[in-house]
Copies of this chain bind each other. A is one copy, B any other.
Protein backbone atom coordinates (compact mmCIF):
# COMPACT_ATOMS: atom_id res chain seq x y z
CA UNK A 1 0.00 0.00 0.00
CA UNK A 2 1.35 3.40 -0.97
CA UNK A 3 1.76 5.78 1.94
CA UNK A 4 -0.63 8.70 1.98
CA UNK A 5 0.80 11.98 0.75
CA UNK A 6 0.67 13.38 4.27
CA UNK A 7 2.81 10.62 5.81
CA UNK A 8 6.01 12.58 5.35
CA UNK A 9 5.11 16.22 5.56
CA UNK A 10 8.75 17.32 5.52
CA UNK A 11 9.79 15.22 2.56
CA UNK A 12 11.16 17.49 -0.18
CA UNK A 13 9.68 17.53 -3.66
CA UNK A 14 10.87 14.72 -5.89
CA UNK A 15 14.14 15.73 -7.44
CA UNK A 16 17.10 13.77 -8.66
CA UNK A 17 19.64 13.98 -5.83
CA UNK A 18 22.57 13.73 -8.23
CA UNK A 19 21.34 15.47 -11.36
CA UNK A 20 23.22 14.83 -14.58
CA UNK A 21 23.08 17.76 -16.97
CA UNK A 22 21.46 16.75 -20.21
CA UNK A 23 21.57 20.25 -21.60
CA UNK A 24 23.62 20.93 -24.69
CA UNK A 25 26.49 23.20 -23.69
CA UNK A 26 26.35 26.65 -25.23
CA UNK A 27 28.11 27.12 -28.55
CA UNK A 28 31.69 28.36 -28.33
CA UNK A 29 32.11 32.12 -28.66
CA UNK A 30 32.39 33.39 -32.25
CA UNK A 31 35.85 32.71 -33.64
CA UNK A 32 35.64 35.81 -35.82
CA UNK A 33 33.58 38.81 -34.78
CA UNK A 34 32.92 39.56 -38.44
CA UNK A 35 33.24 36.96 -41.17
CA UNK A 36 32.90 38.44 -44.61
CA UNK A 37 32.74 36.32 -47.74
CA UNK A 38 33.32 37.83 -51.15
CA UNK A 39 32.17 35.82 -54.13
CA UNK A 40 34.96 35.32 -56.64
CA UNK A 41 33.28 32.69 -58.78
CA UNK A 42 34.07 32.94 -62.48
CA UNK A 43 31.82 31.69 -65.23
CA UNK A 44 32.72 31.54 -68.91
CA UNK A 45 32.22 34.81 -70.78
CA UNK A 46 28.72 35.11 -72.18
CA UNK A 47 27.02 33.00 -69.50
CA UNK A 48 23.49 34.31 -69.06
CA UNK A 49 23.88 34.81 -65.31
CA UNK A 50 27.31 36.36 -65.53
CA UNK A 51 29.54 35.92 -62.49
CA UNK A 52 31.06 37.93 -59.69
CA UNK A 53 34.60 37.46 -61.00
CA UNK A 54 33.54 38.66 -64.45
CA UNK A 55 32.15 41.74 -62.69
CA UNK A 56 35.43 42.46 -60.88
CA UNK A 57 34.91 40.42 -57.71
CA UNK A 58 38.53 39.36 -57.35
CA UNK A 59 39.97 42.86 -57.41
CA UNK A 60 37.33 44.03 -54.97
CA UNK A 61 38.07 41.12 -52.64
CA UNK A 62 41.76 42.13 -52.67
CA UNK A 63 40.85 45.73 -51.97
CA UNK A 64 38.48 44.68 -49.17
CA UNK A 65 41.19 42.63 -47.49
CA UNK A 66 43.75 45.38 -47.76
CA UNK A 67 41.41 48.14 -46.56
CA UNK A 68 40.07 46.10 -43.64
CA UNK A 69 43.67 45.60 -42.50
CA UNK A 70 44.53 49.25 -43.08
CA UNK A 71 41.54 50.39 -41.04
CA UNK A 72 42.45 47.96 -38.27
CA UNK A 73 38.94 46.54 -37.99
CA UNK A 74 39.19 44.12 -35.06
CA UNK A 75 38.12 40.50 -35.30
CA UNK A 76 37.41 40.53 -39.01
CA UNK A 77 38.16 37.81 -41.51
CA UNK A 78 37.69 38.39 -45.23
CA UNK A 79 37.43 35.25 -47.35
CA UNK A 80 36.86 34.38 -50.95
CA UNK A 81 33.92 32.10 -51.57
CA UNK A 82 32.66 30.00 -54.41
CA UNK A 83 29.41 30.86 -56.19
CA UNK A 84 26.99 32.44 -53.72
CA UNK A 85 24.20 32.12 -56.30
CA UNK A 86 23.16 35.76 -56.43
CA UNK A 87 25.22 36.26 -59.55
CA UNK A 88 22.92 38.79 -61.21
CA UNK A 89 23.56 41.27 -58.42
CA UNK A 90 27.30 40.78 -58.15
CA UNK A 91 29.94 41.34 -57.20
CA UNK A 92 28.32 40.24 -53.94
CA UNK A 93 29.58 39.94 -50.40
CA UNK A 94 27.83 38.49 -47.37
CA UNK A 95 28.63 39.39 -43.78
CA UNK A 96 28.08 36.91 -40.96
CA UNK A 97 26.81 36.37 -38.35
CA UNK A 98 24.22 38.99 -39.32
CA UNK A 99 23.76 37.56 -42.82
CA UNK A 100 23.62 40.92 -44.57
CA UNK A 101 24.38 40.95 -48.29
CA UNK A 102 25.79 43.76 -50.36
CA UNK A 103 26.61 44.45 -53.96
CA UNK A 104 30.00 46.11 -53.99
CA UNK A 105 30.91 47.33 -57.46
CA UNK A 106 33.52 49.96 -56.72
CA UNK A 107 36.20 50.77 -54.19
CA UNK A 108 33.91 53.52 -52.89
CA UNK A 109 31.24 50.87 -52.25
CA UNK A 110 33.74 48.76 -50.34
CA UNK A 111 34.85 51.77 -48.28
CA UNK A 112 31.26 52.59 -47.41
CA UNK A 113 30.53 49.03 -46.29
CA UNK A 114 33.69 48.96 -44.20
CA UNK A 115 33.14 52.28 -42.48
CA UNK A 116 29.37 52.35 -42.11
CA UNK A 117 28.58 48.68 -41.49
CA UNK A 118 31.74 47.15 -40.09
CA UNK A 119 33.13 50.09 -38.15
CA UNK A 120 29.93 51.96 -37.39
CA UNK A 121 27.55 49.05 -36.90
CA UNK A 122 25.12 50.63 -39.36
CA UNK A 123 23.80 49.56 -42.72
CA UNK A 124 24.26 50.77 -46.29
CA UNK A 125 20.76 50.51 -47.73
CA UNK A 126 21.75 51.67 -51.23
CA UNK A 127 24.01 48.63 -51.65
CA UNK A 128 22.06 46.06 -49.65
CA UNK A 129 20.48 43.02 -51.27
CA UNK A 130 17.04 42.21 -49.95
CA UNK A 131 14.46 39.50 -50.42
CA UNK A 132 13.31 41.44 -53.49
CA UNK A 133 16.62 40.77 -55.27
CA UNK A 134 15.47 37.63 -56.96
CA UNK A 135 17.14 35.84 -59.82
CA UNK A 136 15.20 36.31 -63.08
CA UNK A 137 12.71 33.53 -63.74
CA UNK A 138 13.78 30.79 -66.10
A115 at the interface (CB under 8 A from B): no
Using Cβ atoms and an 8 Å threshold, which residues of chain B touch A123? 24-25, 27
CA distance A27 to B129 in the complex (A): 10
A42 at the interface (CB under 8 A from B): no
A97 at the interface (CB under 8 A from B): yes
**Which residues of A from 80 to 138 have beta carbons under 8 Å from B?**
80-86, 94, 96-101, 122-123, 125, 128-131
Using Cβ atoms and an 8 Å threshold, which residues of chain B touch A129? 28, 31
CA distance A99 to B79 in the complex (A): 15
A23 to nearest B CB, angstroms? 11
CA distance A81 to B129 in the complex (A): 21
A interface SS class: loop
A46 at the interface (CB under 8 A from B): no
Using Cβ atoms and an 8 Å threshold, which residues of chain B touch A94? 31, 35
CA distance A94 to B28 in the complex (A): 12
A129 to nearest B CB, angstroms? 7
Can you sample 25 A-B contacts with CB below 8 Å? Answer: A25-B123, A25-B125, A27-B98, A27-B123, A28-B100, A28-B128, A28-B129, A29-B131, A30-B99, A31-B94, A31-B99, A31-B101, A31-B129, A32-B99, A37-B79, A37-B81, A77-B84, A77-B85, A79-B82, A79-B83, A80-B81, A80-B82, A81-B81, A81-B82, A96-B99
